[in-house]
């Protein structure tokens, strides 16, 4: 992936009277929509499958007091929309992210990805280990060898792509949430909010829906290697997440052999822990960001001291 392919950002102005700046940047063959807010060390939020920038509202509202928060709509989603590219893949999504960061002059961000967003963050960090300060991987997946329950989750994504031809995703998501809560109470403790975010987001055409779902379904078959990631990692998942998801988090932690990994369980939360328990999630991200930035500052100070000593 070549940094610098993206064009200059096109700014759309402020949102809702706050200090959020919106715009688009050229990322390969598409214009990617982004929102930027606050001033300070950057945290880039990557939303989950079939969601949009709105998924991160509580985190942006809270964390922009001391950080630069950047959210964007992943290719095929939200205001970014679709493209003629086929197929999609996590590598393509990571290339889009690389172009976005380059165009916005964002250096060494913390990447915070939920579900599919966590997969994108992993692939990007493995390819650019020196350009990421840390990772927050929330309710996400691994490309490591999976148990049968994990493989079934990815197989179901292909089935969803077929169902979308006859049952559009907002309705399909509502059914999924209801069935999920019947089978595993608390899987989505704030299902109403999740459903509202899905319904309020720009509609995803079926062709895009299928490409997105297929890209996610193929992630376990990729040649991604978690051992390439050597930055601090916060693994965060909801306590009510299905067992298959919890198993994948364990496999994910085991695959990050060269990273300093911290595992945190969000209470009273399901698969979308940032929505189910936003206060806990946001506080965990803030604390992690302080730890990462503090460690970076200590390392810089140590380097300066060594350099000063060498000069004598």
Domain edges within the chain: 10-306
Tell me the percentage of the chain whose pLDDT exceeds 90: 55
Work out the pLDDT band at 161, boundaries 50, 70, 90: low
Q: Tokens 């606050």 — which residue? A: 38
Tell me yes or no: is domain 10-306 CATH 3.40.50.1820: yes
Strand partners, 135: 111, 233
**Do 144 and 119 meet the contact criterion of CB atoms below 8 Å apart?**
no
The pLDDT of 220-242, averaged and rounded, is 91
Q: Which of 72, 87, 54, 56 is nearest to 6 (CA)?
A: 72
Tell me the percentage of the chain whose pLDDT exceeds 70: 74
The pLDDT of 213-224, averaged and rounded, is 88
What is the pLDDT at residue 184? 42
Work out the pLDDT band at 185, boundaries 50, 70, 90: very low
CA distances 295 to 67, 238, 289, Å, are: 16, 27, 10
Q: Tokens 């995803």 — which residue? A: 204
Q: Which is higher by pLDDT, 303 or 157?
A: 157
N-term to C-term CA, the chain = 42
- pTM for the predicted model, two decimal places: 0.85
The pLDDT tens digits for 134-147 are 999 999 988 867 77
Helices marked H in the chain: 57-63, 90-103, 116-127, 148-163, 169-183, 191-200, 206-217, 243-255, 273-276, 278-310
The three-point CA angle 107-109-110 to 5° equals 170
Work out the pLDDT band at 168, boundaries 50, 70, 90: low
Work out the pLDDT band at 5, boundaries 50, 70, 90: very low
Burial of 298 (0-12, 13-18, 19+ CB in 10 A): exposed
List the structure tokens of 178. 């209801």
Average pLDDT over all residues of the chain: 83
Res. 86: pLDDT tops 80:
yes
Q: Which is higher by pLDDT, 117 or 172?
A: 117
What is the pLDDT at residue 238? 92
Res. 124: pLDDT tops 60:
yes
What is the pLDDT at residue 155? 75
What is the pLDDT at residue 224? 85
Distance CA 80, CA 35 (A): 12
Res. 250: pLDDT tops 80:
yes
The pLDDT of 99-104, averaged and rounded, is 98
The pLDDT of 162-185, averaged and rounded, is 52
Res. 269: pLDDT tops 50:
yes
What crossing angle do the helices spanning 169-183 and 191-200 adopt, rounded to 10°? 170
Which strands, in side-by-side order, build the sheet including 42-46? 10-14, 21-27, 30-37, 68-72, 42-46, 110-114, 134-138, 233-238, 261-266
The pLDDT of 34-44, averaged and rounded, is 98
Count CB atoms within 10 A of the CB of residue 211: 23
The pLDDT tens digits for 29-38 are 999 999 999 9
């Amino acid at each position: 992936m070549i940094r610098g392919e993206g064009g200059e950002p096109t700014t759309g102005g402020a949102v809702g009277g706050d200090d959020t700046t919106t715009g688009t940047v050229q990322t390969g063959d598409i214009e990617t929509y982004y929102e930027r807010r606050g001033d300070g060390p950057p945290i880039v939020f990557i939303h989950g499958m079939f969601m949009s920038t709105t998924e991160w509202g509580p985190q942006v509202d809270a964390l922009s007091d001391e950080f630069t928060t950047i959210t964007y709509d992943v290719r095929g989603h939200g205001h970014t929309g679709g493209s003629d590219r086929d197929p999609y893949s996590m590598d393509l999504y990571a290339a889009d992210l690389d172009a976005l960061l380059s165009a916005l002059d964002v250096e060494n961000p913390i990447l915070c990805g939920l579900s599919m967003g966590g997969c994108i963050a992993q692939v990007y960090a493995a390819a650019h280990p020196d350009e990421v300060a840390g990772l927050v991987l929330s309710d996400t997946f691994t490309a490591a060898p999976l148990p049968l329950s994990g493989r079934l989750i990815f197989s179901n994504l292909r089935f969803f792509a077929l169902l979308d031809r006859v049952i559009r995703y907002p309705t399909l998501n509502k059914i999924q949430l209801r069935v999920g809560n019947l089978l595993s109470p608390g899987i989505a403790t704030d299902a109403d909010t999740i459903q509202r975010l899905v319904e309020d987001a720009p509609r995803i055409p079926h062709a895009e829906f299928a490409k997105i779902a297929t890209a996610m379904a193929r992630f376990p078959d990729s040649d991604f290697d978690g051992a390439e990631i050597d930055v601090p990692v916060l693994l965060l998942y909801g306590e009510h997440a299905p067992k298959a998801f919890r198993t994948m988090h364990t496999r994910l932690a085991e695959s990050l052999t060269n990273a300093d990994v911290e595992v945190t369980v969000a209470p009273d939360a399901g698969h979308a822990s940032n929505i189910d328990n936003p206060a806990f999630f946001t506080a965990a991200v803030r604390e992690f960001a302080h730890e990462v930035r503090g460690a970076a500052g200590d390392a810089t100070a140590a380097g300066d001291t060594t350099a000063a000593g060498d000069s004598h």
